[in-house]
Structure 1
């Protein structure tokens, strides 16, 4: 699971903006810290008609008004919930309604990007377009969060009798929509690079990804994520030693280690992925909400977690909290790639959703844990149905409507 800790960084206080229309990315610079906000120029999505949106083919045009896909606001909307909590693929730790969450308003907010409308997810349309193809999410449990959401969203758009198959394993789990020949997989690799067992010790190979990478070849759509596990310490740490060029270290600066590992991954993508046949995405860092003082600036709060939060953050003039240091590493590495993936930049929009975590409504908690939310609330992962459905709506938009 993602770490119940925050990484610290300075809060940005001012910015200068500039456009670089390369792979549709806008860079906003906050006091020397570059905050990447992927934006796209969506011609044909602005003021679209929902009835025919799936028949329209928007194109990128630099001379038209732009839609900042990952900048906007959450608006209340009672009309849309893509699936029910009875979707059988949802892990207990994400199934908040099944495990007693009493409120439902967190399900009734729609992401509204600046200056455009985006198509609602259509599971039947997704299946038809992806017939015979494969999608794989690679990374940690935040990737699994999105993987399960996507399966439920596709399933909700297909007939109940449409045959499916699931094969759960570690590191690879595969869900198949048999009628369409579609596979939607999750490959667990929280660091992306390899971990080997050497004399009973776990060695994190910062310069080696061949073991994991072999499983990712031949996939039509790849979506990667990493970040949270790099800061784990103590019992949550996933390795005993780090290997750098043949030398073993018991520890090192975690962000330096993450950058080394991500550069190994980036070199693998640049060398092994044919981007004419494989679409590559990278999921931005999913924020946590363990410190109410970060989103309640100036107020005194006795709470110590996201427990009891039922509404998104509103009226913020900047990033609501501490911008993740790991995201800065992601930006630096992606900007250096020859074939950079599409950045699914969900960090800011997710930071506004302090209300959307499982908190104590997670299936693996005991009664004693539920009675002590300050120590047991999960403010890292997200409820399903919930926020990852928006990630997938944006994934859907980028996959089918941006060219």
Structure 2
């Protein structure tokens, strides 16, 4: 087996590992509000979300094309650069999962790749226009749009149903939430699974396995869809806890409005090929759901801490990506990549073992949300 083939296999495995963490990190996007309101039981929610994430991955390839060709100059990219970028995104995903922070897997991945590319080939290899138009501007506008849409939607929901008996309204919107949460999961699959597809496609182009115009191979689509679905089924209970109860107390009409708003914004962005942060969109929708209900409380301290995490995601992941590339290059060749890969595996294992001491499961999340416990504050290992 040649060194290039070994290197390509390591890159693909790392990409699918990132995709898996994306799944369990972002389960909260689709299902936290439905679990919080009792519309879906925790395990049923993540199982349904896993299936729909898998299906959604096959609905579009526009985001994959943007990641593969729209952010960095593919001609200047090597397998080592792609690998280092993935390590940057993966490390940030794991750290924010450990602390229960709903950060952006998308921006972590893009940041890691940009950081590694900058160190490897300089500023000229990064498509600044594409980065601004496809990543930074949507990152600013999407959560704002989600807040506005969810605020208006929540207000209208309560106004239009003000004469409906409260119990009847709650039951009706619980049923509605099953549909709206499912739509968010489907939208998540169409947007987030494609990012891994795009990265693997970029690696295949860099290796000379396929041409730049060849598109995404079908086996890449299958593997990416499976990895994100498996991660979703495991369930990121730490992040679910924060997003479902940390920002505001959600009632069923609010949950329905938040989920419908999230799905609308995500699907619109996917249509235009923007690699959107579904986390930021869903968080914006939850905040909007709090603002749209009279006398509802939005915990702005929690929102502010999440905002800080969003701001540092791109540069933090870029720094890790650059360090990973530098170490791999210092050692040299395939051996350098394998050493960094081994270090990443050890880091992930240590973080996992630390998390097991205070594990968050579907059972204790459910117990908390029916009144038998108190959700832990964001930023504290739970």
Comparing both structures, which one devotes a greater share of its residues to helix? 2
Please tell me the TM-score bracket, short chain as reference: under 0.3
Question: How does the TM-score come out when normalised to structure 2?
Answer: 0.23
Question: How does the TM-score come out when normalised to structure 1?
Answer: 0.23
Higher relative contact order (CA 8 A, sep 6+): 2
Comparing both structures, which one devotes a greater share of its residues to strand? 1
